[in-house]
Chain A
Amino acid sequence: MADVTLTVDGKKITAPAGTLLIEACKTVGIEVPSFCYYPNLSLQGACRMCLVKIEKMPKLQTACTTVVSEGMVVTSDSDEIKQARKSMLELLLGNHPLDCPVCDAGGECELQDMTFTYGAAESKFMEAKNHKDEQQWSPVVFFDRPRCILCYRCVRVCGEGMDVWALGVQNRGVSSIIAPNKEDHLECEECGMCIDICPVGALTSGAYRYKTRPWEMKHVGTTCTHCGDGCKTTLGVRRADKGMEIVRGDNRDKSGTNGDFLCIKGRYAFDFANHEERLTQPLIRQNGKLTPATWEEAFELIGKNFSEIRERDGGTRIGVIGSMRTTNEEAYLLSKFARVVLKTNNVDHHRTADFPALAAALRGKENATASMAEVFTAPAILLIGNDPTEQHPLLAWQIRNNVRLHRARLYVINSNSIKLRRQATSFMQIGAGLEGEVAAFLAGNDAAADALVDSSAKKEEWIALRDKLSGEQSLVIVFGSELRGKDVASLVKFGSAGSGAKFVCLADYANSRGAADMGLYPELLPGYHSVVGSSEFHQEWGEVPQATGLDLPGMVEAGKAGKLEALYVVGSNPVGRLDIDPYAFSKSFVVVQDMFLTETAVMADVVLPAANAYEKSGTFTNTCGDVQLVKKAGEVTGTKSDFEMIVRIADAMGFDVRKLVPFGGGTRADMGQSRGAQSGEADRHAVWLEAHGLEPKMSPFDPMAILDEIQRLVPGYDVSRMNLLAGNSEPTSLREAGASAAHKAESIFPANDNLFSSGTLGRYSRTLNSVSESHEVKAAEVAAD
């Protein structure tokens, strides 16, 4: 659209025609106050705080509903305007209680800030304030009616943003109230967006309310540890007797692709960290019982047994199971540790999507993967399988709002009538398990359509759909784990034929993609390079065992046959999830690193208490392939990161850890004094080093040293370190991935977590459990990891 030029407070502004005045002002740093206006939500014009003077208009106008026009002359601040805003505040404060000292929002309340700015301290109102006791609308949503200033942000974000429509406004005028959809409680997705977006303390969260004051927290921006979407979450942490306690999660700073969006898990489900069953000391099996021991005893025992088995019978007698929730650095380190230190290719993890098939299909293709950000901007999206609303809340948010704000065309093909059909241009329901036929049909096999034809869709409709999809420019194709192996290849064949579609493969855990990219496979090294032959890894790592190792079912068989003498499980619960006979490994020496005594941990010989992803640093790769920084927020005394434990075990086996972690390679850093007059020096120095990509790697436990190696060796990971450190997401590419290998499609087991479950983390999250119970949704019987 053409640009128009206007003047605000004497400043010339050029903005595209159609821009709202309030937004145009922002571009030159003029802040027009508002409560009800919220970017990307429909206009309300309710609060009258954004009143400005526009020349030639008879009275003050609302900047949030006025579109800029050529030659407009605007005053955003004058005595008249100040007085108008002050009067609006007086009205808002007419019923608003003065409970700021105990209100959750106190200190970060927009009404408080506005009152402070305009000095609306006096009131002409003599009437008693209307009072109504707080109401609990769900385990996580509380409503304090008198605090509400009726900006309707919550109503709009719930309806327009989430497509849930659980909040409404009842009555009218001065007696208007925000009302939940079930008279006295809410039936919704419990995302907490309404709480987060509330400018005052009217909506408060069950997880956070009355726990602390905003200024008592330190805020750490990190990546969520639940699903594979990779939302940024800002965790509020506070010193506690056992370290640092996480008390709040939100993303009000709008860092990350998710903007201010978070689902229930990202927002509330951090409480597993402080569950009383959390392991905080190593356990060694003595006389058949797991008994507390010291870290030294534990590492010595593991080092001795692992070395002995390797020396006596070779590394093929040892199995390694990695995690989908550890960082890329830990997954890479484990993959390397298995090959280089344990001398085994018996490496696997709980697979929830066929990334090797995608890597093989996209090899050599430029710009063939879509980032999470692109899902919000793509003009057209094809979604096959999965139910993003339940399993990929951010992806669903991106799709939904792309359709709403950019009028993107959404094509949904699913065996269930998933919620996103409501945004779809076209929705085709197919029989369960027929996703592969869809891929084959799209790739040109017309006969495959016969299986898809039923009473609701004729063959011509399928052909018309295919033609329409082929005609779409910049199509993003999102597919669930229903598509594996050759189906993925078919889909890529279809997508690449036209204008070059981009792909998103959906996996279930926070770092499922990272686990795959970092080579937690028996036949694949990092970057989907085959263990057989020679790649950069073979040269860098030294000797790598050449024979393909055992996958998870293979290890179980070997265990039963007494041929697996040791099993090393890092952050995974295969016994619980994959229905493995726990006695399969009764003859093996089993080491488990986990937060809790899971079904796998109880049968171990040594259990090491692990830190979770909120308690360590590194990177995660989301299901789209975007790498993001993971920062340490919380801390529980007595736990160690998986990274440190792997290094310690290597050390205990007598391995030179410098060959495992390239730390201290010439970089020296003066970290300054930690106390006294120069105490700030260390911080300042660290900031400078970070900004120059030179953050010190002085210890073998520093994951950044491994990130160096990952960026150097893993194809597609040579992204801007600067951007990563700045907290942005950096899309990786599969263009130069290794040739990959034939893959067993049947070894993929979807986690089937829903909005209110999250494997082991969900099991030990009181908040998720309370919500789950209130919804009477049955969570998976056994946790997945």
Chain B
Amino acid sequence: MRFSEEFEARFAEMVPHYPTKRSALVPTLLYAQDEIGFLSDEVIAELAGRLDLTELEVRNVISYYSMLTTKPRGKFNVQVCTNISCLVRGGEEILQHCEKKLGVRHKGTTADGLFSLEEVECIGACSWAPAAQVNYDFHENLTVEKIDKVLEEYKHEPTR
């Protein structure tokens, strides 16, 4: 199992910040997921070994956090908020529109592997509701037209 040099540098820098190795697990998982796309069995085994944990413990943590996944996702993970503020401002419609547009439901991935869709709880953008997050980018004050545009832009973006 090989990670990028950037990952290795971050990992090496991060671990000594914590009193015990295991505390570095969550950020490590996030970095690994950003790099590989999902947390494969191979990644789990590798990180468990590095942090002196059992694979089961690593899986326990992954299953606790909904932003961590053990299954491959699309290149762009569209996370539509339907929590209270977004709900009253039309978040539900945005989600339904995305479902129709992408042809997948919650946690689904398009056949071309480009998009995944997720219905998520509050992403802290209540002031600009309804909001959605694509990978780490926020898109706010959404309307059906606006989200169409957003998705269109991502479709034509070669890498991200």
Contact = CB atoms under 8 A, between A and B. Distances in A.
A171 interface: yes
B35 interface: no
A45 interface: no
Interface string B43-82: 0000000000011110110011000000000000000000
Contacts of B63: 170-172
Contacts of B55: 181
Interface stretch (A161-169, A346-354, A654-662, A767-775): A161-169
B60 A170 contact: yes
B56 A171 contact: no
Contacts of B60: 168-170, 179
Contact of B54 (A165, A170, A172): A165
A181 B54 contact: yes
Contacts of A168: 54, 56-57, 59-60
Interface in A127-181: 165-172, 179-181
A179 B64 contact: no
Contact of B59 (A165, A166, A172, A179): A179
A542 to B, nearest CB: 63
A268 B54 CA distance: 27
B56 A172 contact: no
A170 B57 contact: no
A169 B57 CA distance: 8
B64 A171 contact: yes
B45 to A, nearest CB: 12
B64 to A, nearest CB: 5
Interface string A681-701: 000000000000000000000
Interface secondary structure of B, over-half rule:
helix
A289 to B, nearest CB: 56
A172 B57 contact: no
B56 A165 contact: yes
Interface in A243-293: none
Nearest to A155: B60
Contacts of B57: 165, 168
Contact of B64 (A167, A172, A180): A172
A379 to B, nearest CB: 25
A665 to B, nearest CB: 61
A168 B60 CA distance: 6
Nearest to A175: B63
Contacts of B54: 165, 168, 181
B160 to A, nearest CB: 29
B9 to A, nearest CB: 30
A463 B54 CA distance: 35
A150 to B, nearest CB: 13
B56 A166 contact: yes
B26 to A, nearest CB: 14
Interface in A373-422: none
Contacts of A169: 60
Nearest to B65: A172
Contacts of A166: 56
Contacts of A167: 56
Contacts of A180: 56
B8 to A, nearest CB: 27
Contacts of A181: 54-56
Contacts of B56: 165-168, 179-181
Nearest to A167: B56
Contacts of B59: 168, 170, 179
A181 B58 CA distance: 11
Among B54, B63, B64, the most chain A Cβ lie within 10 Å of the Cβ of B63
Nearest to A170: B63
A180 B60 CA distance: 10
Nearest to A173: B64
A181 B48 CA distance: 13
A167 to B, nearest CB: 8
Nearest to A180: B56
A387 B85 CA distance: 61
A171 B63 CA distance: 5
A74 B101 CA distance: 61
B69 to A, nearest CB: 13
Among B59, B60, B64, the most chain A Cβ lie within 10 Å of the Cβ of B60
A168 B59 CA distance: 9
A179 B61 CA distance: 12
Among B54, B56, B59, B60, the most chain A Cβ lie within 10 Å of the Cβ of B56
A189 to B, nearest CB: 14
A735 to B, nearest CB: 45
Contacts of A170: 59-60, 63-64
A419 to B, nearest CB: 14
Interface in B99-116: none
Interface string A166-209: 11111110000001110000000000000000000000000000
Contacts of A179: 56, 59-60
Nearest to B62: A170
B82 to A, nearest CB: 18
A688 B54 CA distance: 55
A387 B43 CA distance: 33
B117 to A, nearest CB: 21
Interface in B8-57: 54-57
A13 to B, nearest CB: 36
Interface in A18-71: none
A194 to B, nearest CB: 14
A12 to B, nearest CB: 40
Contacts of A172: 63-64
B119 to A, nearest CB: 16
B20 to A, nearest CB: 15
Interface in A524-576: none
A355 B60 CA distance: 48
A169 B63 CA distance: 9
B6 to A, nearest CB: 30
A242 B56 CA distance: 45
A169 B56 CA distance: 9
A180 B57 CA distance: 10
A200 to B, nearest CB: 21
A154 to B, nearest CB: 13
A552 B56 CA distance: 50
Among A168, A169, A179, A181, the most chain B Cβ lie within 10 Å of the Cβ of A168
A187 to B, nearest CB: 10
A171 B60 CA distance: 7
Question: Which 7 pairs of residues, A with B, have the shortest CB-CB distance?
Answer: A170-B63, A181-B56, A168-B60, A168-B56, A172-B64, A165-B54, A171-B63
Given A171-B63, A172-B63, A179-B59, 12 more contacts: A165-B54, A165-B56, A166-B56, A168-B57, A168-B59, A168-B60, A170-B59, A170-B60, A170-B63, A171-B64, A172-B64, A181-B54
Interface of B: 54-57, 59-60, 63-64
5 contacts: A166-B56, A170-B63, A171-B64, A179-B59, A180-B56
